[in-house]
Amino acid sequence: MLTKEYHAKISGTGMYVPDKILTNYDLEKMVDTSDEWIKSRTGMSERRIASKEQAASDLSYEAAVKAIEAARIKTKEIDMIIVATISPDHPFPSTACILQKKLGLKGFPAFDIAAGCTGWIYAANIAKQYIENGIVSNVLVIGVEILTKLVNWSDRSTCVLFGDGAGATIISRADEKDISRFIDSEISADGTHYDLLIQNAGGSRIPASKESVEGNLHTIYMEGNKIFKHAVKSMYQACEVVLKRNHLDVHSIDWLITHQANMRIINALGKKLNIDEKKVIVNIEKYANTSAATIPIALDEAVRSKKIRHGDLVLMASFGAGLTSGSLLLRM
C-alpha cells in the first residue's frame, strides 16, 4: 500500500430530488406493468422525475449547497469538483464546469466521470487520492442523474426502474487526530460486457440522425437479467478486497450502503457478506435507481436522520454500466 501524506474524510453531505413523484400505479397507466410486479421484482414503489427545465447541473447545485453548509466550509474553499453522471447537461462541456460556474467559482480542476452507477465511488476514489497526496483540501464530489430523460417510455423492462436525483459530498483533508477518514477503496471494470447497458447513439459511433431518433437509439438499452448476475458477484468481490486488505471482519462494519438498483440484489449481497440486515441501508422504495446518485443520497439521508453517526464504520459498494464496480470503506 502507498504511504499517505494526509487522510481524507467526508466532511459534509447533501441531496436533492425533484418534487414530482411517479408511482408504480402511475406506471400501470403508461405501460403493461403492475405495482405488484415492480415491487416484488425490484422493491421500488415510486421515483422522482425532473421537470422539463431541470438538467443535471441544476440538481447538483441544490445538493452541493446543502453539502457545503453541512461541511461548514465556505464555497470558495472548494478546490476541485468531480461530477459522476451518465446524464450530463450536454455531451460537452462537463457538468462539473457548469456547476463550477453556478457556484461562482473558477481556477481549479472540474471534470465529469462516466462510470455508470459506480460513478460516485469512482469519483470519491479519485478525490481520496488527491487529498491524500496533499494536492487539494476540499473536493466537491457529486453523483447526479436524470435518467428519466434517457429511458424509452414504451419499454416496460427499463422505464419502471429509474428515477432522478443528486447526492453531494465534500471530501476534505482530515486532521491528524480526526477519527473520521477514508480507510480504503477498490475500483474495477470488465469492459467485455460494455454492451449490456448502453446508450447506443449520440456519440461518435452512432451520431444523432433521424434514423437514430426513430430507432430509439438514444434511450437506455439494458439486458437486466444478465447484469443481475454480475451485480452481486462484482460488489461482493469489491467488498472482500477492502475487508481483507484491512484485516476486518464483516461484523465490525456498522453500515453497508450499496447501489440501489434492485432489492433482490441488495439482499443477495447482504446474505453473501453475512451482514446483519439491520445494518443495510435501503431507500430504493422511494427513489428507485438514481444510478450514480443512489449512494450519496442514501448516505445523506442516513447521516441527517442520525442513523450513521460520527465514528461509524461504513462499507459502500456499487456496480453499473461498463461494467464497472467498486467499494469504499470509511469511518464517518
Residues lying near ligand UT7 in the complex (CB under 6 A) are found at: 33, 37-38, 41-42, 117, 156-157, 160, 197, 224-225, 227-228, 231, 261-262, 289, 291, 320
The per-residue DSSP string of 23-68 comes to EHHHHHTTSS--HHHHHHHH---EEEE--SS--HHHHHHHHHHHHH
Q: Closest separation between CB of residue 139 and ligand UT7, Å?
A: 24
Report the number of secondary-structure helices (H) and strands (E) in the chain. 11, 14
Separation between Cα atoms, residue 161 and residue 257, nearest integer Å = 19
3-state class of 165 per DSSP? strand
Q: Closest separation between CB of residue 267 and ligand UT7, Å?
A: 12
Q: Closest separation between CB of residue 317 and ligand UT7, Å?
A: 12
* Strand-pair partners of 329: 184, 315
Q: Closest separation between CB of residue 305 and ligand UT7, Å?
A: 24
Of residues 7, 97, 159, 259, which has the active-site annotation? 259
Identify which of residues 226 and 245 has a Cβ nearer to ligand UT7 in the complex: 226
Non-local (6+) Cβ contacts of 85 within 8 A are 56, 95, 112, 113, 114, 119, 142, 143, 144, 145, 291, 292
Q: Closest separation between CB of residue 89 and ligand UT7, Å?
A: 21
Answer yes or no: 289 catalytic: yes
Contact 138, 79 (CB under 8 A): yes
Identify which of residues 157 and 209 has a Cβ nearer to ligand UT7 in the complex: 157
3-state class of 273 per DSSP? helix
Of residues 97, 117, 159, 239, which has the active-site annotation? 117
If we measure between CA atoms, which residue out of 291, 283, 281 comes closest to residue 314?
Answer: 281
Q: Closest separation between CB of residue 319 and ligand UT7, Å?
A: 6
Separation between Cα atoms, residue 112 and residue 142, nearest integer Å = 9
Tell how strand 255-258 and strand 46-49 pair up: unpaired
Q: Closest separation between CB of residue 228 and ligand UT7, Å?
A: 4
Identify which of residues 59 and 73 has a Cβ nearer to ligand UT7 in the complex: 59
Ramachandran angles phi, psi of 9, nearest 5°: -145, 165
Identify which of residues 38 and 70 has a Cβ nearer to ligand UT7 in the complex: 38
* Strand-pair partners of 330: 182, 314
Contact 297, 305 (CB under 8 A): no
Identify which of residues 31 and 135 has a Cβ nearer to ligand UT7 in the complex: 31
Residue 53: DSSP 8-state: S
Q: Which helix H or strand E contains 243, and what residues bound it?
A: helix 224-245
Identify which of residues 93 and 224 has a Cβ nearer to ligand UT7 in the complex: 224
Identify which of residues 81 and 293 has a Cβ nearer to ligand UT7 in the complex: 293
CA 249 to chain CA centroid, Å, is 25
**Three cell numbers written together for 204:** 461518435
Active site residues: 117, 259, 289
